């Protein structure tokens, strides 16, 4: 049981590293000046937003693996 958790955590950390690398690549590409003869096909700002959402979901999964409890949203009582 513990070995499976370590493998899942290693895979999760590897995915987070890949997401950070892709985010850095998109940031680098977005900051380059535009070339009028070669228009951009990919909207790097949108890709960075999507990568950030995936990163936060992966981070929540890593916290779940480390603590053993699921991350729950905070809600007001009485609703």
* Within-domain flag for 54: yes
pLDDT value of residue 2: 61
H helices of 1-79, where? 2-31, 44-67
- Count structural domains, the chain: 1
The stretch 55-73 carries a mean pLDDT of 86
Task: State pLDDT tens for residues 4-24.
Answer: 678 899 999 999 999 999 999
Of 4-8, 12-16, 25-29, 40-44, the one with minimum mean pLDDT is 4-8
Q: What is the pTM of this model?
A: 0.79
Greater confidence, 1 or 37? 37
Give 57's contacts (C-beta < 8 A, 6+ positions apart). Answer: none
Domain ranges, residue 24: 2-67
């Amino acid at each position: 049981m513990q070995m499976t958790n370590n493998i899942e955590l290693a895979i999760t950390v590897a995915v987070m590293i890949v997401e950070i690398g892709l985010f850095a690549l998109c940031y680098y590409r977005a900051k380059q000046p535009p070339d009028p003869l070669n228009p951009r096909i990919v909207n790097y700002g949108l890709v960075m937003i999507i990568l950030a959402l995936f990163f936060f979901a992966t981070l929540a999964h890593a916290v779940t693996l480390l603590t053993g409890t699921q991350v729950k949203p905070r809600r007001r009582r009485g609703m």
